[in-house]
Amino acid sequence: MHESIQIDTPDGSFRAHVARPAATAPAPVVVVLHEVFGVNADMRKTCDELAAQGYVAVCPDLLWRLEPGIDLSDKTQADLDKAASLYSAFNLDTGVDDVARTIQRARTLPGTTGKVGLMGFCLGGLMSFLTTARVGADASVAYYPGNADKHLEESMLIDSPLLVHLAQEDEYIPKGSQLEIVQALGRQPTVRTHSYVGCSHAFARHSGNHYDAAAAALANDRSAAFLASHLK
């Protein structure tokens, strides 16, 4: 079942896409933090997959302050150019505030247990990392968190469970930056990292240009086990 909810802030309101499991028993929530392409078909499919695992999946529109309702893909140059512009204009601090408000709302949604995890991809992966450091969550997952190496001073603040997936051949996160991420996060006992050999950025994006079925399945299985161990 799908629905849309409104989340209020002092600056205005934004929408979030919600996918619910078929079972009616109270379920934990996973807040899905999208790439710079917005709440698109890929993110909605991720929400459906989480709902099939027994979670209420909530995907907030993090780009609402720039342009509400963004729905792009990696298939056209026009979409890629717009995505790059949005990424440059995105404010990380207000983004964390919006994720925090989404977490607060998610804890009180009807039909939920009060437990809330995060799962973010690229820009959303960075937001998962930063929100975990600044706010915390019951469990967080970050897929290829772009620019995380520029915020590693915040890693020392992380004291809740975090799982990070890195692509070994990521064209946006160089190997040196990946090493810095792994070393910094390795000092935190609640954090685990995995690197995927031969994979490019966004290897888990459904039907994406760099989709790697085997690596995506492995990462997603690890994420599922990790979330289940902390949320259920």
Residues assigned a catalytic role: 170, 201
Please tell me what DSSP assigns to residue 130.
Answer: H
Residue 210 CB neighbour total at 10 angstroms: 17
Phi-psi category of residue 122: left, alpha or beta, with phi > 0 → left and psi -120 to 50 → alpha: left
Please identify which residue in the block is written with the tokens 């849309």. 4
d(CA 95, CA 97): 5
d(CA 106, CA 115): 8
d(CA 30, CA 205): 18
Please identify which residue in the block is written with the tokens 């209420």. 56
Please identify which residue in the block is written with the tokens 């820009």. 123
Nearest Cα neighbor of 216 from 228, 198, 191, 230 is: 198
Instruction: Give the CA-trace dihedral at 145, 1, 4, 231, to 10 degrees.
Output: -40
Q: Output the six-digit token pair for 131.
A: 């929100």
d(CA 18, CA 5): 7
